[in-house]
């Protein structure tokens, strides 16, 4: 029987691409993914079919990646597309651990869980100021406050899921040495092989776009959420 899928969860611009690439390097089968993108030098490691289906489910629910819907809706056609994607990834893994990454999955997770059964999660997070800087650099039309509140909406879902059944969370802002050590540790827990190697490690400092947090205080809810994420990751 194929192993339960591993879903890589996190807010956009929070290290999901780096975590996916690092786990792929250690043996996680992701299928056909982007290995080069305009805002991800090593690619976002996302499967286009998964992205398209997430967008379709969000649209059917009256939302989008930047407008989380109040209630998720999908039909039999969407479920059939999902099941075909799952069968393709599981079948193509040749028995290796497999999974996928798309930040939208935090918004569509009930839809995917309906078709996956047992599933394993890993998550990543980042300081909200860095996420806002990265998002607004990519899309200057996005108001900073909208980006900040989107960070909160995604991470509320991530932390709520973690509270139900804890799973590894990686802080994308930590030092390079600590980041690689954290990835190695969760790789072992997932049954993947060890380190990618000192000479070819997927993680590079240059993959972290966005500036360091400034002196401006965060709104209380956002500051509390970031502290809670650090505590959940064991770094408080």
Tens of pLDDT, residues 54-91:
999 999 999 999 999 999 999 999 999 999 999 999 98
Number of domains in the chain: 1
Q: Is there a domain that residue 97 lies in?
A: yes
Q: Looking at the domain assignment, is residue 170 inside a domain? A: yes
What does DSSP assign to residue 100?
Answer: E
Of the chain, the percentage scoring pLDDT greater than 70 comes to: 87
Maximal C-alpha separation, the chain = 52
pLDDT band at 171 (very low <50, low <70, confident <90, very high): very high
Q: Quick one: tokens of 38?
A: 């305009």
Q: What CATH number has the domain bearing residue 65?
A: 3.40.50
Per-residue pLDDT averaged across 177-192, rounded?
91
The residue range of the domain holding 172 is 6-232
Say what the pTM is.
Answer: 0.91
Q: How far apart are CA 91 and CA 114, in angstroms?
A: 19
Distance separating alpha carbons of residues 203 and 183, to the nearest angstrom:
10
CA 14 to chain centre: 7
On whether residue 1 sits in a domain, the answer given is no
Q: Kind of pairing, strands 169-171 and 6-9?
A: unpaired
């Amino acid at each position: 029987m194929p192993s339960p899928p591993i879903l890589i969860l996190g807010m956009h611009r929070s290290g999901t691409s780096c975590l996916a690439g690092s786990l792929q390097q250690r043996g996680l089968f992701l299928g056909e993914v982007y290995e080069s993108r305009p805002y991800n030098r090593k690619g976002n490691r996302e499967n286009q079919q998964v992205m398209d289906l997430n967008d379709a489910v969000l649209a059917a629910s009256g939302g989008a990646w930047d407008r989380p819907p109040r209630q998720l809706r999908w039909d039999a056609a969407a479920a059939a597309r999902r099941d075909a994607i799952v069968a393709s990834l599981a079948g193509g893994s040749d028995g290796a651990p497999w999974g996928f990454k798309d930040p939208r999955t935090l918004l569509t997770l009930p839809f995917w869980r309906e078709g996956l059964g047992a599933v394993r999660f890993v998550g990543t997070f980042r300081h909200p100021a860095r996420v806002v800087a990265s998002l607004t650099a990519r899309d200057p039309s996005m108001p900073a406050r909208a980006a900040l509140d989107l960070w909160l909406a995604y991470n509320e879902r991530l932390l709520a899921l973690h509270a139900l059944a804890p799973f590894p969370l990686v802080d994308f802002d930590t030092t390079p040495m600590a980041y690689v050590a954290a990835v190695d540790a969760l790789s072992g827990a997932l049954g993947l092989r060890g380190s990618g190697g000192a000479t070819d490690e997927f993680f590079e400092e240059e993959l972290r776009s966005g500036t360091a947090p400034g002196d401006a205080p965060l709104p209380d809810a956002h500051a509390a959420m970031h502290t809670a994420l650090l505590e959940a990751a064991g770094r408080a």
